[in-house]
């Protein structure tokens, strides 16, 4: 027995103090994203992009997470997680931390990015900076493009407060003087049109450079008096409301999930308010009036020093054609065995193919799916679709296959958050093309990323499979790190075929030989592998656990990891976002190290490795979260080929764990400390992999 196995933990592994709160951890992740906006080593326009991402993250955090906590508090829930934090206490800390994050967002925007952009010839001109010619141009733009779309609503007994859409820019306008009907309400609400661009390039004839921009909010504000002729506008103040955007549909009660969601979607714009943002100069009496109307308290008020919708500045990254201020262009590589002219099926009959996106192209995956339509020997295709994008090469290939008479079965997950409308449209179009469409299993979101082709070869049917850790979305495949496995392995293909039958028809699926899937076998496998390493450590034998994923919050997995740490198992985790595990606690988790990598690409791949020599290596669609392990349909697949297993270990674990440039280390108190490289040992995982696997590097 080793010394670690004899230690008595100072804290029991189930103690609430050993679990970080999920919401607090999510806010800390957003701090790390925001830190990239202040990082001088990041290209300037990319820093602006990181700022807007942090703002979008905050929006979704309030729309989904904070709204949920508010509902728990209203229902009198005492505790809702293993950390045992009361919802009311959670809300207080959420608001305190969020105010600090918002203050930092606007500090970086006003004091850092705006001046640096101006120094680089990109100006966002405030109203107070406009010349007479620029003000005249803005007035003309307002009259031509904006004013016809505005409908001010004066507040009086016959004009109640208008319905204010979620996250839309609005103005509350104070006026004096009677109007044409001798009304003197004094207050109007003006909602900015959703279809107009929020960032507008000034024409060259009135600008000092090629990259002078104004915000729509400034154009409206400067000319708002035009909306109220013969009245005196005393003030105009921006505001924006964030609403609960989680959809509720009782899947066990509805007869048609698509129709129920189609009916529910419009309500997302008018859910219960959870946050009010107002301009910093908004008078207290106006802010209080808005709070009262939206049934919010003072704790829900956020006064900001600048535009209330900073996330809309994302468009500036595209409008400013300045390659010198962006990440250099990157061309994904293609494995040598899939070079142009090779027959993919010939290759897959001989060996598995592994792709590491975005360093390697998503093109081979598209080619694999296109075979369904173009290859006369392909007779059927089955696939799960979670997020594909509004216009998708993947879905177009499925349409073509269905129209060509192939047997196409698509499991479309309608409950992919914020993609519901696109997925309903996708499902309808696939059905109209002749495909069989199902929506998964009632009560379980289908999050698996799998595609199965059936091909007639030499008088028999042969199956080929694609398994991935990411979505069938060509856009995210260029910006998210993910693993794709293309294989003709008979056992894996048989397992995936069984899984599709499980998704489409009733009955119990016989046991699978290679694939683990939620909600049935994946959780048990993970716990079993962790416990096996703990047993090795207790016996004095070498052991190790390493894993990479988006989030870690499942209490059962965390407790198993604590017990493994107590036994002496070295554990290294690469967790991009939420981590509820507390590392470095003496006697409990001192063998566990957790890091997060924030860089050009969004770390999205899920890889688990168990054993001192990486004896068991898996890739999966699932994080170690309760929802993924217990309430979703997820797929976890082994990397069987020794050479590919070595690649996955090196590219997804070894190199990220050596990163000392873009990595952050989780401390026992829940804070994150950024790694600082020495003078000669600098290693940035994403840069290393891009150089190795991109079109200018090796494409093994």
CA geometry: angle at 550 spanning 477 and 682, to 5°?
Answer: 80
> By the 8 A CB rule, do 74 and 66 touch?
no
Output the 3-class SS for 413-426. CCCCCCCHHHHHHH
> By the 8 A CB rule, do 199 and 319 touch?
yes
CA distance 410 to 416: 15
- Segment holding 596, helix H or strand E: strand 592-597
Nearest to 98 by CA among 238, 242, 214: 242
Nearest to 368 by CA among 388, 393, 389: 393
CA distance 26 to 635: 25
CA distance 619 to 608: 6
CA 283, distance to chain mean position in Å, is 36
Nearest to 354 by CA among 329, 334, 325: 334
Q: What share of the chain is helix, strand, coil (3-state, %, to 5)?
A: 40, 20, 40
Cα dihedral across residues 391, 395, 401, 407: positive or negative: negative
Specify whether the backbone of 418 is left (phi greater than 0), alpha (psi in -120 to 50) or beta.
left
Task: Tell me which residue has tokens 């979703």.
Answer: 632
Q: How is the beta sheet containing 273-279 ordered, strand by strand?
A: 153-154, 187-191, 170-176, 232-243, 273-279, 301-304
CA distance 690 to 415: 34
Q: How many CB atoms lie within 10 A of CB 233?
A: 16
Catalytic residue from among 447, 473, 517, 604: 447
Active site includes 466? Answer: no
- Total residues found in the chain within this entry: 700
Residue 66 gets which letter from DSSP? I
- Contacts with 162 (C-beta within 8 Å, 6 or more apart), sequence order: 153, 189, 191
Here the tokens at position 36 are 């990239």
> By the 8 A CB rule, do 50 and 65 touch?
no
> By the 8 A CB rule, do 300 and 95 touch?
yes
> By the 8 A CB rule, do 338 and 466 touch?
no
CA distance 210 to 321: 10
CA 374, distance to chain mean position in Å, is 33
Nearest to 41 by CA among 518, 488, 662: 662
CA distance 193 to 196: 6
CA distance 601 to 685: 11
Q: How is the beta sheet containing 123-124 ordered, strand by strand?
A: 123-124, 212-215, 199-201
Nearest to 358 by CA among 516, 469, 226: 469
- Contacts with 700 (C-beta within 8 Å, 6 or more apart), sequence order: 335, 336, 647, 693
Nearest to 628 by CA among 506, 466, 365, 449: 449
Residues labelled as active-site residues: 447
């Amino acid at each position: 027995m080793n010394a670690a196995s004899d230690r008595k933990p100072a804290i029991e592994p189930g103690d609430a103090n050993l679990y970080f709160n999920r919401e607090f951890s999510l806010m800390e992740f957003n701090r790390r994203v925001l830190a990239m906006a202040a990082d001088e080593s990041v290209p300037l326009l990319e820093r602006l992009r990181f700022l807007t991402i942090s703002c979008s993250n905050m929006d979704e955090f309030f729309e989904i997470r904070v709204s949920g906590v508010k509902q728990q508090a209203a229902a009198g829930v005492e505790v809702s997680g293993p950390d045992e934090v009361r919802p009311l206490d959670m809300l207080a800390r959420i608001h305190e931390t969020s105010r600090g994050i918002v203050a930092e967002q606007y500090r970086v925007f006003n004091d850092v990015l705006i001046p640096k952009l101006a120094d680089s010839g990109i100006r966002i001109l405030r109203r107070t900076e406009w010349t007479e010619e620029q003000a005249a141009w803005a007035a003309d733009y307002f009259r031509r493009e904006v004013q016809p779309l505005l409908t001010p609503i004066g507040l009086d007994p016959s004009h109640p407060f208008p319905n204010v859409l979620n996250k839309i820019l609005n103005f509350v306008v104070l006026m004096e003087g009677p109007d044409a009907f001798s009304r003197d309400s004094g207050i109007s609400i003006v909602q900015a049109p959703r279809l107009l661009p929020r960032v507008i390039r000034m024409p060259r004839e009135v600008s000092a450079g090629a990259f002078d921009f104004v915000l729509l909010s400034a154009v409206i504000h400067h000319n708002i008096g035009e909306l109220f002729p013969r009245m005196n506008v005393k003030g105009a103040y921006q505001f924006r409301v964030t609403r609960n955007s989680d959809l509720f549909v009782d899947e066990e009660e509805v007869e048609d999930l698509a129709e129920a969601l189609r009916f529910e979607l419009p309500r997302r714009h008018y859910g219960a308010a959870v946050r009010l943002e107002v301009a910093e100069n908004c008078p207290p009496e106006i802010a209080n009036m808005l709070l009262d109307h939206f049934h919010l308290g003072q704790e829900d008020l956020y006064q900001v020093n600048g535009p209330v919708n900073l996330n809309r500045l994302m468009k500036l990254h595209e409008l400013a054609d300045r390659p010198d201020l962006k990440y250099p262009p990157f061309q994904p590589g293609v494995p040598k065995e899939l070079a142009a002219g090779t027959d993919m099926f010939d290759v897959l009959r001989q060996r598995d193919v592994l792709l590491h996106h975005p360093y390697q192209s998503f093109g081979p995956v598209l080619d694999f799916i296109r075979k369904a339509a173009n290859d006369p020997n392909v007779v059927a295709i089955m696939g799960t679709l979670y997020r594909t994008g509004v216009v998708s090469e993947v879905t177009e290939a499925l349409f073509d296959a269905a129209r060509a008479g192939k047997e196409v079965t698509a499991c479309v997950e309608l409950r992919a958050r914020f993609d519901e409308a696109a997925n309903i449209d996708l499902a309808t179009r696939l059905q109209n093309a002749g495909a069989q469409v199902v929506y998964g299993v009632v009560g379980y979101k289908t999050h698996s990323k799998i595609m199965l082709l059936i091909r007639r070869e030499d008088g028999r049917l042969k199956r080929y499979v694609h398994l991935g850790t990411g979505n069938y979305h060509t856009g995210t495949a260029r910006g998210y790190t993910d693993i794709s496995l293309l294989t003709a392995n008979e056992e894996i293909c048989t397992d995936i075929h069984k899984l599709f039958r499980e998704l489409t028809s009733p009955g119990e699926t016989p046991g699978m030989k290679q694939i683990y899937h939620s909600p049935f076998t994946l959780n048990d496998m993970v716990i079993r592998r962790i416990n096996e390493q703990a047993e090795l450590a207790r016996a004095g034998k070498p052991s190790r656990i390493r894993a990479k994923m988006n989030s870690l919050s499942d209490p059962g997995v965390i407790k198993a990891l604590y017990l493994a740490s107590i036994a002496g198992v070295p554990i290294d985790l690469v967790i991009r976002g939420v981590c509820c595990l507390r590392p470095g606690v003496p006697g409990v988790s001192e063998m566990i190290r957790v890091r997060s990598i924030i860089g050009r690409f969004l770390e999205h791949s899920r890889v688990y490795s168990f054993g001192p020599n990486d004896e068991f290596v898996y890739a999966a669609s699932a994080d170690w979260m309760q929802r993924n392990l217990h309430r979703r349909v997820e797929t976890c697949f082994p990397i069987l080929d020794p050479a590919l297993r070595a690649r996955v270990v090196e590219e997804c674990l070894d190199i990220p764990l050596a990163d000392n440039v873009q990595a952050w280390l989780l401390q026992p108190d829940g804070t994150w400390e950024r790694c600082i490289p020495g003078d000669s040992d600098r290693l940035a995982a994403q840069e290393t992999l891009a150089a190795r696997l991109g079109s200018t590097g090796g494409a093994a």
